[in-house]
Structure 1
Amino acid sequence: MRILVGRGWWRGRAITAWVSGAACRMLPWPLPALSRGAAAHSGALERRYSSAERKEKVDMSRFPFENISNFSIVAHVDHSKSTLADRLLELTGTIGKTNNNKQVLDKLQVERERGITVKAQTASLFCNCEGSQYFLHLIDTPGHVDFSYEVSRSLSACQGVLLVVDANEGIQAQTVANFFLTFEAQLSAIPVINKIDLKNADPKRVEKQIEKVFDIPSDECIKISAKLGTNIESVLQAIIERIPPPKVHRKNPLRALVFDSTFDQYRGVITNVALFDGVVSKGDRVVSAHTQKTYEVNEVGVLNPNELPTHKLYAGQVGYLIAGMKDVTEAQVGDTLYLHKQPVEPLPGFKSAKPMVFAGMYPVDQSEYNSLKSAIEKLTLNDSSVTVHRDSSLALGAGWRLGFLGLLHMEVFNQRLEQEYNASVILTTPTVPYKAVLSSAKLIKEYREKEITIINPAQFPDKSKVTEYLEPVVLGTVITPDEYTGKIMMLCQARRAIQKNMVFIDQNRVMLKYLFPLNEIVVDFYDSLKSLSSGYASFDYEDAGYQTAELVKMDILLNGNIVEELVTIVHKDKAHSVGKAICERLKDSLPRQLFEIAIQAAIGSKIIARETVKAYRKNVLAKCYGGDITRKMKLLKRQAEGKKKMRKIGNVEVPKDAFIKVLKTQSDK
């Protein structure tokens, strides 16, 4: 098979690019795609073609739906998904081939700094295969479990995936999770074994793993090196041959699924859409099935990988649409757009994201409340898996309680707020959502439901009001070399986990499945796992509902007064150790006063841990040299009475910097 991937012009002369192993050259169109790559070397081509001429060059009607392939790249963390995306962009002439093409689609600063993908990014590729013109749409997805919602949303706009596996590490926990997401969505999977250039690479072993775990024949695996560009043409050929075209109807009324969106301060909301039926063009009036508001389409186009306007988008194609949405709440991920006066049945959309971790977020200065509110609204448009509830605190003021998919998700969201919106915030201790089954009909009538969900520990109901408490559990998958199995099993048992399965995926690697209480793994389990296994074990989890648990609300008291911001929900067996740790951290953070401060952890009226901040001492007898002993006794008595009175009426206010220190330490544990 001959794959034509582009032709262009350089200083007035025609140029042809050949790729080793296949007859590949630059497409004679669309020139805008090439111009952005060539512009890195020269601005001549960019000046030669105006934006109006570009629009004429890209005619999306040239692509029948049989010649369209929409696919995602999915893999475990650090298996080089983004590097493979770079090579595909280069091979198809979408970007120029330079040494600076590293994670081109990872546009966020946090992605560059951490070296991971946290936001699914899209790019449209054009290529010519045996005389036929093809439109390929690529979505590069995150690999960490905390961003699995980005993967599931991306799959809704695809018909197939490239399942990338490291030739050295083999199948990892997130590889398994991504495969079953693909299987559930009934998409075609093309296994790609990457990093075959590494010294310890063993593609044959990985082929056997793929065949055993996923039941995919080993002869369907494609062996590549994304870093060196080895055998990338075979991947492009497999995409064209093995990923089926979308099942669409262009003559039906428009039905477009909103699967992602971003906010531009000048143009408003930019929605990424997958067209399942019909056609949309500039000037059309479209209606949101969610809000029932009508908008006029200002621009449609494809991402190449930057925005490339087109005349129209047709069913089966994936692109972007700008329709004058000014409010971030108008663009709902999973919404269906249709033409005005041509209503259709809305598309199913997606399952809503289920937050696994909740944390309070407050501005450092209450005067910044409105600007922080605007920043959170815009950022949640980019990250629809975050849930937002208004909250308030006596010490920290007005704020929000946000729901995240995991601790890394929370950290990345906070980092993006700081980098993209220059916002400084206080984050409280992360907690998981618990449930309580109410005991009386009166309470059920009051709450309007028998089971209530508790996302704020301060709202935890008393034991007398409930029949039982429920805690969230997850089904965790650990893949590890067999030499670390014993240590990992002991770690899981210490976290109250129940073993469900144990399978050898090859001679040296074991896959363990455990049922974990979510609050036992959400903070520091992953770090402990990596430490015990010298970095070789991988971990992934999925929601498994709720189970009965002995939960208690633990209050933190300062001289008998409860500090609401430090209230936590813990399992009864671990209450003492958690309470003692918080008291110790608070003791190190609180400034000393003229009177003694008692720091206590309490369950109801029972004190389970205590630390004391000693008072400043003053020697009232310093100036008494000899003299009447009764005078010395009066001075000491008066000092003791003064401190006693001060302790009764003195109000201990926890400084914000002390809160930040204690809460940050808890989050880092």
Structure 2
Amino acid sequence: MKNIRNFCIIAHIDHGKSTLADRLLEYTGTVTQRELQSQTLDDMDIEKERGITIKSHAIQMDYEMNGEKYILNLIDTPGHVDFSYEVSRSIAACEGALLIVDAAQSIQAQTISNLYLALENDLTIIPILNKIDLPSANPEEVTDEIMGLIGCDYDDVLRVSGKTGEGVHQLLEHIVNRIPAPVGNEDGPLQALIFDSVYNPFRGIEAYFKVVNGSIKKGQRIKFMATNKMYEADEVGTLKLKQNPKAEIKTGDVGYIISGIKDAREVKVGDTITTFEKGATEAIDGFEEVKPMVFAGIYPIESEDFEELRFSLEKLRLNDASLVFEPESSAALGFGFRCGFLGMLHMEIVQERLDREFNMDVITTVPNVSYHGYTKKDPDTMILINNPSEMTDPMIMDRVEEPFIKASIITKSDYVGAVMTLCIEKRGEIVGQSYLTSDRVELVFNMPLAEVVFDFYDRLKSVSKGYASFDYHPIGFRASKLVKMDILINGDMVDALSSLIHDSNAFYIGKRMCEKLRELIPRQQFDIAVQAALGAKVIARESIKALRKDVTAKCYGGDISRKRKLLEKQKEGKKKMKQIGRVEVPQSAFMAVLKLND
């Protein structure tokens, strides 16, 4: 156990984490030159295209120093805020962390957020300045920032280039010398922390774990403590680029287990594995059920594809246990599913994967968050409102509570005014402001999550010219004056466009939505009224004028009554058409709400 080193990498998106991991694999001989490719640990096309890590990975490297052999377990972590729970479990499985900061971009919000997670778990931090080969690199200034952030010395900050390989050998020596070996009771009952799982279509779910106490052997009866399910360890082993089966995984080591599990929901990240006989009585601390934060309806464009969509979502959930969905129906869109996501990026990725991996053409409704409702009759019983259509009559509601977040935004001092204006517009309350350096500021706001779901991230990037980074975590629910706004088209309510919004924004959002829909809905043979309403009160209206044929064109002069007769006849026809006509709402209208400020 004294020669094992478990470490993870903490970095913001695009700070060179995957590239540096490639160099570590190459220099330890874990991957041959033929197997090596750019971003070796990112195996999804979307990850490579976007330059982000979505699924965390683990890989074992063998390293020899001063004639002694060491096992280095790299537990890769996703960089995005949506996957922060997975990051926290990966961090809990490690004794050390490499803090990577881009020498050109400096410290970002997500880096600080994950660094605090690592410090809470008492990890040894090795600060690394990456991309020092770039012409725009500013190593001295960024080194000062790192020193100020974690209180280290100048010489503690390693200068590395993941691209050229400069400084990687010194980094490997620092990992061995500075990160402590794992501690645990080798003779105690088995306790293994699950930090990730993947689905293998031939063998079921493969769970990745770190053995905290005891050891796990092939063929043993094991128990998952959160679900209380029993299984047999058909295969255990360590994770090289390909799986390496072993007879036993001992304390402190990282490995995988295959036990023929077919349902991803039975393997929960953060759960504890123990033995069936003489197992541990207590689970490892920190386990939580992953809760979806953002909800949206996903509907097939062709209604006969409903079962196909169900099948696709079920297959997708095998690889992504945090995806939650249940069937629902909409008067406007037919049958579909109400899906829960960890955040907006997670939602985008699910949509993209449905399109690429399953060739599913879907309509996604306006995303919204979960609210807590309380009635006047029973003010202590909470009703969960995931969908605006579930909101009961406001007359019987006592109060509605919405989720709030603590948002941390790091930006250049030039853009502080613009960022503050945006956050206050989104009902944010400033909690703190601190200067990290003379021209970099961290702003902390308490904000409603529902406001962040709507176009916040795009607008933040545009007001800060791309220089702001954003991170958040939930801080609970607060009572707010929320109203349900319905959109009526020709007097018919379109339930997929209903939304719960704050009373102060209702008139503005209603007016903008009506204007946007007037642009997007094609003109018909009759006038179409687009209205926004709060209950029975209409607060905004736009009219889409009818396409009209010039029926008087054939009249050359003559009596005016002839023209009037033709116009009256046309008017009657339009009136009849309006009664029987139906308006098709195009797909772009459902997502237009997200871009009201364009």
**TM-score scaled to structure 1, two decimals?**
0.83
Which residue of the partner structure matches residue 445 of structure 2? 514
Deviations 1:220-250 (A, max 9, x none): 2222112111111222122222222223223
Residue 652 (structure 1) aligned with residue 582 (structure 2): yes
**Is the 8 Å Cα contact of residues 264 and 321 (structure 2) preserved in structure 1?**
no
**Which of the numbers 123, 145, 150 marks the counterpart of 1:209?**
145
- Could you say if the C-alpha distance between residues 99 and 203 of structure 1 is closer, same or farther in structure 2, counting changes exceeding 3 Å? farther
- The CA deviation at 1:634 is 5.5
Residue 434 (structure 1) aligned with residue 371 (structure 2): yes
**Is the 8 Å Cα contact of residues 288 and 336 (structure 1) preserved in structure 2?**
yes
Letter in 2 for 1:580: K
- The CA deviation at 1:79 is 1.0
**Is the 8 Å Cα contact of residues 86 and 196 (structure 2) preserved in structure 1?**
no
Residue 404 (structure 1) aligned with residue 350 (structure 2): no
Matches within 5 A, 1:468-487: 468-487=399-418
| CA distance in structure 2 between the partners assigned to 1:203 and 1:621 by the alignment | 77
Q: Secondary structure at the match of 1:458?
A: helix
Which residue of the partner structure matches residue 140 of structure 1? 76
- Could you say if the C-alpha distance between residues 367 and 320 of structure 1 is closer, same or farther in structure 2, counting changes exceeding 3 Å? farther
**Is the 8 Å Cα contact of residues 25 and 31 (structure 2) preserved in structure 1?**
yes
Residue 298 (structure 1) aligned with residue 234 (structure 2): yes
| CA distance in structure 1 between the partners assigned to 2:225 and 2:470 by the alignment | 39
Matches within 5 A, 1:272-351: 272-345=208-281, 346-348=283-285, 350-351=287-288
| CA distance in structure 2 between the partners assigned to 1:327 and 1:403 by the alignment | 18
Which residue of the partner structure matches residue 612 of structure 1? 543
**Is the 8 Å Cα contact of residues 264 and 319 (structure 2) preserved in structure 1?**
no
Residue 563 (structure 1) aligned with residue 563 (structure 2): no
- The CA deviation at 1:300 is 1.7
- The CA deviation at 1:556 is 0.5
- Percent of matched pairs sharing the same residue: 45
Deviations 1:80-102 (A, max 9, x none): 11111111111110012479632
**Is the 8 Å Cα contact of residues 358 and 455 (structure 1) preserved in structure 2?**
yes
| CA distance in structure 1 between the partners assigned to 2:181 and 2:84 by the alignment | 25
- The CA deviation at 1:558 is 1.5
Letter in 1 for 2:147: E
| CA distance in structure 2 between the partners assigned to 1:366 and 1:287 by the alignment | 42
Residue 665 (structure 1) aligned with residue 592 (structure 2): yes
**Is the 8 Å Cα contact of residues 496 and 590 (structure 2) preserved in structure 1?**
no
| CA distance in structure 1 between the partners assigned to 2:270 and 2:506 by the alignment | 41
| CA distance in structure 2 between the partners assigned to 1:614 and 1:211 by the alignment | 64
- Could you say if the C-alpha distance between residues 420 and 636 of structure 1 is closer, same or farther in structure 2, counting changes exceeding 3 Å? closer
- Could you say if the C-alpha distance between residues 523 and 317 of structure 1 is closer, same or farther in structure 2, counting changes exceeding 3 Å? same
Which residue of the partner structure matches residue 46 of structure 1? none
Matches within 5 A, 1:532-611: 532-611=463-542
Residue 114 (structure 1) aligned with residue 68 (structure 2): no
Residue 236 (structure 1) aligned with residue 172 (structure 2): yes
Letter in 2 for 1:549: S
Q: Secondary structure at the match of 2:255?
A: strand
| CA distance in structure 1 between the partners assigned to 2:196 and 2:310 by the alignment | 21
Q: Secondary structure at the match of 1:66?
A: coil
Q: Secondary structure at the match of 1:464?
A: coil
| CA distance in structure 1 between the partners assigned to 2:484 and 2:219 by the alignment | 58
Which residue of the partner structure matches residue 397 of structure 2? 466
**Is the 8 Å Cα contact of residues 485 and 501 (structure 2) preserved in structure 1?**
yes
Residue 392 (structure 1) aligned with residue 323 (structure 2): no
Which residue of the partner structure matches residue 433 of structure 2? 502
**Is the 8 Å Cα contact of residues 514 and 532 (structure 2) preserved in structure 1?**
yes
| CA distance in structure 2 between the partners assigned to 1:510 and 1:497 by the alignment | 17
Deviations 1:159-204 (A, max 9, x none): 2211111222222111110111112222222211112222343333
- Could you say if the C-alpha distance between residues 624 and 502 of structure 1 is closer, same or farther in structure 2, counting changes exceeding 3 Å? closer
- Could you say if the C-alpha distance between residues 410 and 668 of structure 1 is closer, same or farther in structure 2, counting changes exceeding 3 Å? farther
Report the structure number with the largest CA radius of gyration: 1
- Could you say if the C-alpha distance between residues 620 and 561 of structure 1 is closer, same or farther in structure 2, counting changes exceeding 3 Å? same
Deviations 1:1-29 (A, max 9, x none): xxxxxxxxxxxxxxxxxxxxxxxxxxxxx
- Could you say if the C-alpha distance between residues 668 and 269 of structure 1 is closer, same or farther in structure 2, counting changes exceeding 3 Å? farther
- The CA deviation at 1:329 is 3.3
Q: Secondary structure at the match of 2:575?
A: helix
Which residue of the partner structure matches residue 37 of structure 2? 101
Matches within 5 A, 1:415-426: 415-426=352-363
**Is the 8 Å Cα contact of residues 86 and 269 (structure 2) preserved in structure 1?**
no
**Is the 8 Å Cα contact of residues 124 and 304 (structure 1) preserved in structure 2?**
yes
- The CA deviation at 1:428 is 0.8
| CA distance in structure 2 between the partners assigned to 1:404 and 1:92 by the alignment | 38
**Is the 8 Å Cα contact of residues 216 and 250 (structure 2) preserved in structure 1?**
yes
Deviations 1:260-311 (A, max 9, x none): 1111221121111222233323322323334444333222222212222222
| CA distance in structure 1 between the partners assigned to 2:595 and 2:289 by the alignment | 28
Residue 167 (structure 1) aligned with residue 103 (structure 2): yes
| CA distance in structure 2 between the partners assigned to 1:98 and 1:483 by the alignment | 47
- The CA deviation at 1:366 is 3.5
Q: Secondary structure at the match of 2:395?
A: helix
| CA distance in structure 2 between the partners assigned to 1:635 and 1:169 by the alignment | 70
| CA distance in structure 2 between the partners assigned to 1:495 and 1:416 by the alignment | 31
Once the two structures are overlaid, the 10-residue window that deviates more, 336-345 or 185-194, is 336-345
Letter in 2 for 1:661: S
**Is the 8 Å Cα contact of residues 263 and 378 (structure 1) preserved in structure 2?**
no
**Which of the numbers 154, 163, 185 marks the counterpart of 2:121?**
185
| CA distance in structure 1 between the partners assigned to 2:452 and 2:228 by the alignment | 42
| CA distance in structure 2 between the partners assigned to 1:302 and 1:372 by the alignment | 36
Once the two structures are overlaid, the 10-residue window that deviates more, 317-326 or 287-296, is 287-296
Letter in 2 for 1:437: Y
- The CA deviation at 1:639 is 4.3
- The CA deviation at 1:631 is 7.0
- The CA deviation at 1:489 is 2.4
- Could you say if the C-alpha distance between residues 159 and 388 of structure 1 is closer, same or farther in structure 2, counting changes exceeding 3 Å? farther
- The CA deviation at 1:133 is 2.3
Which residue of the partner structure matches residue 153 of structure 1? 89
Structure 2 residue ranges without an equivalent (≥5): none
CA RMSD of aligned residues (A): 2.5
Letter in 2 for 1:418: D
**Is the 8 Å Cα contact of residues 296 and 323 (structure 1) preserved in structure 2?**
yes
| CA distance in structure 1 between the partners assigned to 2:228 and 2:197 by the alignment | 18
- Could you say if the C-alpha distance between residues 349 and 517 of structure 1 is closer, same or farther in structure 2, counting changes exceeding 3 Å? closer
**Is the 8 Å Cα contact of residues 504 and 510 (structure 1) preserved in structure 2?**
yes
Structure 1 residue ranges without an equivalent (≥5): 1-64
- The CA deviation at 1:382 is 2.8
Letter in 2 for 1:426: I
Letter in 2 for 1:362: Y
- The CA deviation at 1:567 is 0.4
Q: Secondary structure at the match of 2:289?
A: coil
Letter in 1 for 2:49: E
Q: Secondary structure at the match of 1:463?
A: coil
